[in-house]
Amino acid sequence: MSCTKGRTFLFYHVWIGNTTLIDYKYLMRLILILLSLSSLKGFARNFPDPYVLARSSGKLAMLGYGLGEDRLGGAKMGYIDTGIALRIIDSTKDQYLIKLSKNHTAYINKEDIVKDTATRVKPFYLTNSWSVKGDDIYDYVSLNVDDKLPYKSWMEIDPSKIMVEVYGVQSNTNWITQLRSAKEVKNVYFVQTEDDVVRVTIELKHQQHWGYSIYYHGKNLTIRIRRQPRLKIKDLKIAIDAGHGGSNTGATGITSKVLEKNYTIRFATELEKILKDKGTNVIMTRTVDTTINNIDRVLSLQKEMPNVLISIHLNSSGNDTVKGVSTYYKHIGFRPLTTHILHRMLQLQLNEFGNVGNFNFTPNAPTDFPSSLVEVAFLSNKDDEKRILDPRFHKVVARKIYRGIKDWLIAVKKGNEYSAS
Ligand SMILES: [Zn+2]
């Protein structure tokens, strides 16, 4: 805007000059000088000024792709650490539109952001040296960046890779130190894919993704990578999440009017019994009828860092003829777990509602550990409801989920985790 105004102003003077005493050539030269000064000024101002700088905050800040909504909220780009520098460019009722880089934007909830008036936006940001190393538990890929800049990550399979894009940054990385203490990372490299986007590729040694966490340690963007555990169920730490609880009652039985929250816990407890019996270290997100929101479930799970998370829910539909079992995952690297569980569940003569990918459910969103949501059957369908009410069914379902996890581990061991046995 300021540029256009400046030019209008100059042209006005040309017209005046041309009709009065000023020499035309002199005027043209003056105009050119002023025009170039004006555009230079515009260029220098272009970068920092239109933005309000802010930082991600809150419990579990999440970047979203757009303003789309469904009952679980808009599609998630991913969670980000707190303190990430974000440039606000627009605002809706509940969300800010933020600029990640020249060509990339995202939405963030207003409650997940605080304005940062103390930091001056720099004209450019650089990546510096990186390191790849490991300790007793994890591998770490660490990228030094000039500020805590936003990022997005995803999994790729076959071969397995972790991909990370860092926004608003230019590479000045000429040094990637790699130590033998890294056990799971095979290769690390980057490409500057756009003027201000650096794409990092982390190739993994194993086919199966076991999870990763991304956070800033100072100004080091750190990707902490989980190694493959011993592939025995007794050696794993398995979290079981009984859906709903307390004031969050979930679905209601179509004839019995039973509440979902009181039945998810029954399936969860049966699975807990089987796993504990095998010597597995089991964590329950709840053991009693209490209200815990999904964000708090995720935060406590991220502290516990299980090897696997199983969330148990009961489905519901406005159409009472819809019935059957379904499994859900968000990240493609975790799909094999859901495939194996669904395969075993279908042995119970339940209708196949399907394996659902890219699922936008908060407990499926973390990349930290493989997870599967199991919607056992529909409380809104009479046939399914009858089975859900039967205590014997709780036991057989728990048994099938256990068998599904076991099948998955066997497949991972054989290296063919993408086909259900
Ligand atoms: Zn539910």
Query: Does domain 233-414 sit in CATH 3.40.630.40?
Result: yes
Sheet hosting strand 105-109, strand order edge to edge: 76-79, 62-64, 105-109, 95-99, 85-91, 52-56, 113-115
- For the stretch 271-314, pLDDT in tens is 999 999 999 999 999 999 999 999 999 999 999 999 999 999 99
Ligand 1 midpoint to CA 260 (Å): 7
Higher pLDDT, 289 or 32: 289
Q: Where are the alpha helices (DSSP H) in 250-353?
A: 260-277, 294-304, 335-345
Ligand 1 midpoint to CA 331 (Å): 20
Ligand 1 midpoint to CA 377 (Å): 11
pLDDT > 60? residue 28 = yes
Rounded to a whole number of angstroms, the CA Rg of the chain reads 27
For 6-20, 299-313, 355-369, which range has the lowest pLDDT when averaged over its residues? 6-20
d(CA 236, CA 208): 15
pLDDT > 60? residue 224 = yes
Ligand 1 midpoint to CA 307 (Å): 23
Q: Which architecture, in CATH terms, is 126-226?
A: Sandwich (2.60)
Ligand 1 midpoint to CA 312 (Å): 8
Q: Give the number of other Cβ atoms within 10 Å of residue 397's Cβ.
A: 25
d(CA 367, CA 348): 30
- For the stretch 36-73, pLDDT in tens is 544 444 333 344 456 789 999 988 898 988 776 665 56
Predicted model pTM: 0.85
CATH superfamily of 52-115: SH3 Domains (2.30.30.40)
- For the stretch 187-212, pLDDT in tens is 999 999 999 999 999 999 999 999 99
Ligand 1 midpoint to CA 317 (Å): 11
Ligand 1 midpoint to CA 316 (Å): 8
What does the pLDDT read at residue 121? Answer: 82
Determine the 3-state secondary structure of 365 from DSSP: coil
